[in-house]
Amino acid sequence: SEELGTMDVAAIATLVKLPPQSNNSGDELQKATFEVVQILKGEGLVNAKDKIETLYFGDGTVGKSFLVMGISPPATMWSTPLPLTDRGIKYLTQLVKLPKEGAERLLFFQEYLEDSDEMLARDAYDEFAKAPYAQLKAVKEKLRHEQAVAWIKNPEIPASRRRLYLVILGITGTEQDLPMIEEFMTSSDRKAKSGLDALIACYLTLKGESGLPLVEKLFLANDKADYADTYAAIMAIRFHGSEGGV
pLDDT digits (tens, 9 = 90+) for 219-236: 999 999 999 999 999 999
Per-residue confidence band for 24, with pLDDT thresholds at 50, 70 and 90: low
The number of C-alpha atoms within 13 Å of 86 and in the hemisphere containing its C-beta is 0
The answer to whether 40 and 10 are in contact (CB under 8 A) is yes
The answer to whether 106 and 127 are in contact (CB under 8 A) is yes
The answer to whether 201 and 239 are in contact (CB under 8 A) is yes
Q: What mean pLDDT is predicted for residues 96-102? A: 91
b/e code 74-112 from CB counts within 10 Å (16+ = b) = eebebbebeebeeebbebbeebeeeeeeeeebbebbbeb
- For residue 60, pLDDT beyond 80: no
70 CB-near residues (< 8 Å, 6+ apart): 7, 8, 9, 10, 42, 46, 52, 76, 77, 78, 79
**Residue 37 corresponds to which amino acid?**
V
* Distance between CA atoms of residues 151 and 168, nearest Å: 11
- For residue 49, pLDDT beyond 70: yes
pLDDT tens column, 69-96: 999 988 899 999 999 999 999 999 999 9
Residue 129, phi then psi, degrees to nearest 5: -65, -30
- For residue 26, pLDDT beyond 60: no
Does the model's pTM come out above 0.85? yes
